[in-house]
């Protein structure tokens, strides 16, 4: 059996697989604001299945040095090396950590939307924004494990949205702030001068209208990634990827900026928001 854990900003998911990648157990809990609470919650999750892990593959948001098995940086202050060692001590097993977007990419490449595609870009839009790339059939990690982590880079936006972006403070004009799940709502409120709490409150006609706006902003922001990686496909994950018609609208938006021979296909992850934890079965 193989055991996987995906730690996100809003949920933590634990899964157990047999040797044929069949799911034997899968449950999730809400993410707590402190490491100690999450360690206790994870231990409770693990206890619900009869077999206990000897090796647990854990996906974490942030830059992970897989060679040394340490957290270099994370979007969540409680995700530290102390959290990893505390989890290992609590579960009494070896914990193998990796970047959550990397595991998302490995999963979708092995048995998801990018199966059989050796050049692909993977972007998650959840609590934060992460990305990973498969080149020549292999995951690109970079010298420090941070390849693809572009969440804290400044927003690259077209002149079409100068007025919209003028409504934000300069420090907020970064990928994580504006393209994440929370950023989606911020952009919506700024674009329509509203103050909604949940995007699902919005009538479907208005949601479809805004998806086009977001898709254009998103596409323009990732043009450098597409230009550098030359992917055949772009796979979307995270909560924002569930918005209606978003993959088609992003693909259409990219087409406005690139010649046809450079345009990648865009689709939503086949394994949904569980794609990261599925990588443990590999």
Cβ within 8 Å of residue 98, ≥6 positions away: 57, 58, 59, 60, 64, 66, 279
pLDDT at 259 over 90: no
Q: How many CA atoms lie within 13 A of 147 on its CB side?
A: 18
Tokens of 57: 């593959």
Q: How confident is the model at residue 155 (pLDDT cuts 50, 70, 90)?
A: confident
Q: Does residue 197 fall inside a structural domain?
A: yes
Distances (CA, A) of 230 to 20, 120, 175: 33, 8, 20
Please indicate, yes or no, whether residues 119 and 94 belong to a single structural domain of this protein: no
> For the ranges 2-6, 20-24, 153-157, 220-224, which has the lowest average pLDDT?
153-157
Tokens of 157: 């936006």
Q: Does residue 109 fall inside a structural domain?
A: no
Q: Does residue 261 fall inside a structural domain?
A: yes
- pLDDT for res 223: 92
Q: What are the respective helix, strand and coil percentages of the chain, to the nearest 5? A: 40, 25, 35
Please indicate, yes or no, whether residues 154 and 90 belong to a single structural domain of this protein: no
Q: What would the pLDDT profile of 75-123 be if each residue is shown by its tens digit?
A: 899 999 999 999 999 999 999 999 999 999 999 999 999 999 999 999 9
Q: Does residue 110 fall inside a structural domain?
A: no
Q: Does residue 90 fall inside a structural domain?
A: yes
Helix (H, G, I), strand (E, B) or coil at 264: coil
Please indicate, yes or no, whether residues 204 and 82 belong to a single structural domain of this protein: no
Cα–Cα dist 87/93, whole Å: 9
Backbone angles phi, psi at 263, to 5 degrees: -80, 125
Give the number of other CB atoms < 10 A from CB of residue 150: 21
Sheet with 2-7, edge to edge strand ranges:
23-30, 11-17, 2-7, 55-60, 94-99
Please indicate, yes or no, whether residues 187 and 256 belong to a single structural domain of this protein: yes
Q: Does residue 160 fall inside a structural domain?
A: yes
Q: Are 102 and 276 spatial neighbours (Cβ–Cβ below 8 Å)? A: no
- pLDDT for res 233: 97
Question: What percentage of the chain reaches a pLDDT higher than 70?
Answer: 100
- pLDDT for res 148: 83
- pLDDT for res 276: 85
Q: Does residue 11 fall inside a structural domain?
A: yes
Please indicate, yes or no, whether residues 196 and 80 belong to a single structural domain of this protein: no
Please indicate, yes or no, whether residues 139 and 47 belong to a single structural domain of this protein: no
Question: Kind and range of the H or E element at 248?
Answer: helix 246-255
Q: How many CA atoms lie within 13 A of 112 on its CB side?
A: 29
Cα–Cα dist 187/181, whole Å: 10
Question: Kind and range of the H or E element at 123?
Answer: strand 120-125
Please indicate, yes or no, whether residues 128 and 211 belong to a single structural domain of this protein: yes
Cα–Cα dist 211/225, whole Å: 21
Cα–Cα dist 262/131, whole Å: 19
Q: What is the largest CA-CA distance in the chain?
A: 57
Please indicate, yes or no, whether residues 184 and 230 belong to a single structural domain of this protein: yes
- pLDDT for res 9: 87
Cα–Cα dist 13/222, whole Å: 28
Question: What percentage of the chain reaches a pLDDT higher than 90?
Answer: 77
Q: How confident is the model at residue 150 (pLDDT cuts 50, 70, 90)?
A: confident
- pLDDT for res 258: 86
Please indicate, yes or no, whether residues 126 and 220 belong to a single structural domain of this protein: yes
CATH number, domain containing residue 15: 3.30.420.40
**Residue 73's domain spans which residues?**
2-103+275-281
Burial class, 244, CB count within 10 angstroms (exposed 0-12 / middle 13-18 / buried 19+): exposed
Q: Does residue 165 fall inside a structural domain?
A: yes
As for how many domains the chain has, the answer is 2
Distances (CA, A) of 140 to 121, 128, 134, 149, 254: 10, 20, 6, 11, 23
Please indicate, yes or no, whether residues 97 and 149 belong to a single structural domain of this protein: no
Q: Are 7 and 38 spatial neighbours (Cβ–Cβ below 8 Å)? A: yes
Please indicate, yes or no, whether residues 143 and 253 belong to a single structural domain of this protein: yes
Q: What would the pLDDT profile of 174-204 be if each residue is shown by its tens digit?
A: 998 899 999 999 999 999 999 999 998 899 9
Please indicate, yes or no, whether residues 129 and 264 belong to a single structural domain of this protein: yes
């Amino acid at each position: 059996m193989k055991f996987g854990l995906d730690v996100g900003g809003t949920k933590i998911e634990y899964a157990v697989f047999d040797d044929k990648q069949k799911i034997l157990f899968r449950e999730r809990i809400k993410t707590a604001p402190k490491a100690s609470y999450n360690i206790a919650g994870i231990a409770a999750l693990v206890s619900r299945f009869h077999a206990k892990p000897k090796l647990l593959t854990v996906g974490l948001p942030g830059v992970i040095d897989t060679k040394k098995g340490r957290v270099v940086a994370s979007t969540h202050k409680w995700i530290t090396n102390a959290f990893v060692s505390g989890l290992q001590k609590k579960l009494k097993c070896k914990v193998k950590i990796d970047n959550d977007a990397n595991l998302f990419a490995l999963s979708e490449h092995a048995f998801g939307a990018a199966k059989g595609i050796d050049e692909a870009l993977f972007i998650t839009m959840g609590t934060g924004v992460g990305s990973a790339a498969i080149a020549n059939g292999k995951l690109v990690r970079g010298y420090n494990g941070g390849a693809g982590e572009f969440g804290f880079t400044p927003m690259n936006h077209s002149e079409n949205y100068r007025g919209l972006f003028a409504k934000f403070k300069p420090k907020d004009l970064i990928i994580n702030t504006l393209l994440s799940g929370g950023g989606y709502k911020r952009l919506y409120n700024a674009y329509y001068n509203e103050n909604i709490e949940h995007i699902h409150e919005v009538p479907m006609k208005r949601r479809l209208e805004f998806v086009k706006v977001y898709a254009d902003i998103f596409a323009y922001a990732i043009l450098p990634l597409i230009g550098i990686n030359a992917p055949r496909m772009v796979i979307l994950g995270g909560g924002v990827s569930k918005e209606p018609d978003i993959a088609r609208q992003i693909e259409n938006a990219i087409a406005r900026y690139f010649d046809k021979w450079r345009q990648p296909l865009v689709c939503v992850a086949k394994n949904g928001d569980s794609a990261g934890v599925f990588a443990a079965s590999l």
